[in-house]
A and B are shown apart, each in its own frame.
Chain A
Amino acid sequence: MPFLALITRNVLTRRVRAGLTGLAVAMAIMTVVALGVLTHSLRRTAISVLQTGSADFTVAQKGVSDVLYSSLDNSQVARIKAEPGIQSIVGVLVAAIKLDSSHPFFLELGIPPDELAPFGVQILKGRPYTATATNEVMLGWRASQDLHKNVGDVINIDGNNFTVVGIYSVGNVFGDSASMLPLTTLQTNERKPGNVTLAFVKVTPGTNIDALRKRIEQANPEVATVRTQSEFGRVDRNLSLISAANVGITIMALIIGAIGVMNTMVMSVFERTREFGVLRAVGWTRARVLALVMGEALLISFVGAMAGVVLGYLAIRGIQRVPELVGVFQPDYTSAIFARALGIAFGMAFFGALYPAIRAALLVPMEALRHE
């Protein structure tokens, strides 16, 4: 009889208990997977706004709770532009509005039309808006599909009617789910004259980008430059907090799952004391008894983890339907998230079964055989 077959048989003998423990593991893994995918995808979507276009790095106000609250004025942009090594700098105003109940979070990007091409905007249909137009808008192709609006249609944004003059693509979810309109029009509508949210910087070839960023931050202590995803927390504390919460919840899930596994395995070892006595009496080593208990816990956790991954996937499908997330949340199922889920399941099994397994292995055969 293969050892794995014995482990499986023992687990199946106590189906209800093993099932409930597996369910607890599954719920913990579901939480880990769903939160992992959610935070990773939101971070990816959020960072994409900073990586829109062909900029080498992005400048934002330092330490704001949300990157959309960043505010840079013309003088700051001008000061940065004066730094040697900068080829171009594009200031973009980003505003979030409620379009309707189905689109409670809709983004407007204010960009001068002559900066669209350098910014990496590709016009798919129609034409760009004019620099001073107050009633022209372009829609990202995702937004166009979602809102069922095409070139020539009229769309009401924040109480103002705009004619859709073009459909564009910038190659990321964030930008393609938004709208674009002249910078001055958006500044007027948002009552932010002379202000932009972000500045996208392109450097001249051969420039030391890191040295340039350092100079900009030293000269402008109120701004932060962002080049990579890991630096995003410097300009968006909310996402950093969500990521920290994700880590905290993952640890909690690990602890709760491990306690569940431990409870089950302690009960199992207690009930099967005589069985372990018999196994030791017929020559089983302590190591093999340890491996048996560990193996049972691992099997329960592994099956629970598989179920948890499926439940996590279903949970993400449900989260996708939350109106606030439509357009800004595109699930990104990375192998790292699933590897972490499996690692956590393994951790639950290991830490949960360690004490009962050691207890079973250390049983004195004669005392175990006397156990009623």
Chain B
Amino acid sequence: MSDAGAPGPIIQVTDVVKLYDDGLVRALDGVTMSAARGEFLAVTGPSGCGKSTLLQLIAALDRPTSGSIVVEGRDLREAGNDTYRRTGIGLVFQLHNLLPNLTALQNIEVAMFSNGHSHGEQRTRARELLDAVGLGAKEKVTPPRLSGGERQRLAIARALANRPPILLADEPTGSLDSAAVDRVLELFREIREREGVTLLLVTHDAHVASTADRIVYMRDGKIVAAPEADVPAAAPAP
């Protein structure tokens, strides 16, 4: 059940615990947080603090041990997360996770299978996204022949293929040089303006986190400051 467009948080995480190795590893320990529609939220903290695990649970790539995650009114514990992953969110990984044997255009199209649009419409949308991320001239180039920054921009384009209301990015600038980082952050800003997406970005980079509307700090699987006490971003997103 979805109540897209309704007031209230678009993402609501409540008392989520995630255990690994038969409970020996407590990756998340009672995490509660939320994100408002259209917000740019950065989750940051040291390595191993659980921020990537949190993003993976919100992306329905894994299930929490306990607690609930509700996105647009839909409890992710319900079955049928394929559709949610296809149309409810867009995912950007640190290592791009592009398919090396497909061209840039095909990497975007492959995310649009089963979205109900014709092949022609899918191709038009893929080209539109490639233009948007500055790769319009490289639609026939395969990922191994793109630079790191270009690959990440292509990954962002793929994440937006099905016009998701939420974009989840896990260390999207982690493998980029500073110029490429700035280009990707600029791209996120443009996307928010154009697509109106909610952006949840996991990063350990304070500079990247500082570009968000709001920052959530994590340590040892917990949010170290209550949501209402989150430190506002140094500079609001433009």
A281 touches B113 (CB 8 A): no
Q: Give complex CA distance A274, B114 in Å.
A: 21
| Segment of B64-72, B101-109, B172-180, B195-203 in the binding face | B101-109
- Min distance, Cβ A279 to any Cβ of chain B, angstroms: 7
How many chain-A residues does the 8 Å CB contact rule pick out? 24
A274 touches B97 (CB 8 A): yes
A364 touches B62 (CB 8 A): yes
Q: Which residues of B contact A285 (CB under 8 A)?
A: 82, 114
Q: Which residues of A contact B61 (CB under 8 A)?
A: 281, 365-366, 369
- Choose from B86, B93, B99, B122 the contact partner of A275 (Cβ within 8 Å): B99
Known A-B contacts A9-B101, A274-B97; the reply to A284 vs B119 at CB < 8 A is no
Is A221 interfacial (CB-CB < 8 Å)? no
B97 touches A278 (CB 8 A): yes
- Min distance, Cβ B125 to any Cβ of chain A, angstroms: 12
Is B162 interfacial (CB-CB < 8 Å)? yes
- Min distance, Cβ B34 to any Cβ of chain A, angstroms: 23
B111 touches A283 (CB 8 A): yes
B99 touches A3 (CB 8 A): no
Is B83 interfacial (CB-CB < 8 Å)? yes
Could you tell me which residues of chain B, from 179 to 221, have a CB within 8 Å of some CB in chain A?
none
Known A-B contacts A366-B61, A369-B93; the reply to A278 vs B99 at CB < 8 A is yes
Select from chain A the residue with minimum beta-carbon distance to B122.
A1
- Min distance, Cβ B101 to any Cβ of chain A, angstroms: 4
User: Per-residue 0/1 for B100-133: is the Cβ within 8 Å of any A Cβ (1 yes, 0 no)?
Assistant: 0110011001110110000100110000000000
Q: Give complex CA distance A283, B159 in Å.
A: 11
Q: Give complex CA distance A279, B98 in Å.
A: 10
Is A2 interfacial (CB-CB < 8 Å)? yes
B56 touches A366 (CB 8 A): yes
Select from chain B the residue with minimum beta-carbon distance to A368.
B61
Select from chain A the residue with minimum beta-carbon distance to B53.
A366
B85 touches A10 (CB 8 A): no
Q: Give complex CA distance A100, B113 in Å.
A: 68
B97 touches A369 (CB 8 A): yes
Select from chain B the residue with minimum beta-carbon distance to A367.
B62
B82 touches A1 (CB 8 A): no
Q: Give complex CA distance A98, B99 in Å.
A: 66
User: Per-residue 0/1 for A267-293: is the Cβ within 8 Å of any B Cβ (1 yes, 0 no)?
Assistant: 000000011011111111110100000
Is A6 interfacial (CB-CB < 8 Å)? yes
Is B158 interfacial (CB-CB < 8 Å)? yes
Known A-B contacts A282-B86, A282-B158, A283-B162; the reply to A2 vs B97 at CB < 8 A is no
Select from chain A the residue with minimum beta-carbon distance to B59.
A281
User: Per-residue 0/1 for A354-370: is the Cβ within 8 Å of any B Cβ (1 yes, 0 no)?
Assistant: 00000000001110010
Q: Which residues of B contact A274 (CB under 8 A)?
A: 97
A284 touches B113 (CB 8 A): yes
Is B166 interfacial (CB-CB < 8 Å)? no
Q: Which residues of A contact B84 (CB under 8 A)?
A: 283
Q: Which residues of A contact B119 (CB under 8 A)?
A: 1-2
Most buried by A among B82, B83, B119, B122: B82
Is B91 interfacial (CB-CB < 8 Å)? yes
Q: Which residues of B contact A280 (CB under 8 A)?
A: 82, 85
B87 touches A282 (CB 8 A): no
- Choose from A3, A283, A365, A369 the contact partner of B86 (Cβ within 8 Å): A283
Q: Give complex CA distance A286, B87 in Å.
A: 16
Q: Give complex CA distance A1, B109 in Å.
A: 6
Q: Give complex CA distance A302, B205 in Å.
A: 52
Q: Which residues of B contact A230 (CB under 8 A)?
A: none
Could you tell me which residues of chain B, from 143 to 186, have a CB within 8 Å of some CB in chain A?
158-159, 161-162
Q: Give complex CA distance A369, B92 in Å.
A: 12
Is A13 interfacial (CB-CB < 8 Å)? yes
B110 touches A282 (CB 8 A): yes
- Choose from B85, B97, B101, B123 the contact partner of A283 (Cβ within 8 Å): B85
Q: Give complex CA distance A6, B114 in Å.
A: 14
Select from chain B the residue with minimum beta-carbon distance to A277.
B97
Q: Give complex CA distance A288, B115 in Å.
A: 13
Q: Which residues of B contact A284 (CB under 8 A)?
A: 82, 86, 113-114
Q: Give complex CA distance A69, B164 in Å.
A: 80
Q: Give complex CA distance A1, B56 in Å.
A: 28
Q: Give complex CA distance A10, B109 in Å.
A: 15
- Choose from A9, A288, A365 the contact partner of B113 (Cβ within 8 Å): A288
Binding site for B on A (CB under 8 A): 1-3, 6, 9-10, 13, 274-275, 277-286, 288, 364-366, 369
Given A274-B97, A282-B159, A283-B87, 6 extra CB contacts under 8 A: A1-B109, A2-B119, A6-B102, A281-B59, A281-B85, A283-B84
Q: 19 A-B contacts, Cβ less than 8 Å apart?
A: A1-B105, A1-B106, A3-B113, A13-B101, A275-B99, A278-B98, A280-B85, A281-B59, A281-B85, A282-B91, A282-B110, A282-B111, A282-B158, A282-B159, A283-B82, A283-B84, A284-B113, A366-B61, A369-B97
Binding site for A on B (CB under 8 A): 56, 59, 61-62, 82-87, 91, 93, 97-99, 101-102, 105-106, 109-111, 113-114, 119, 122-123, 158-159, 161-162
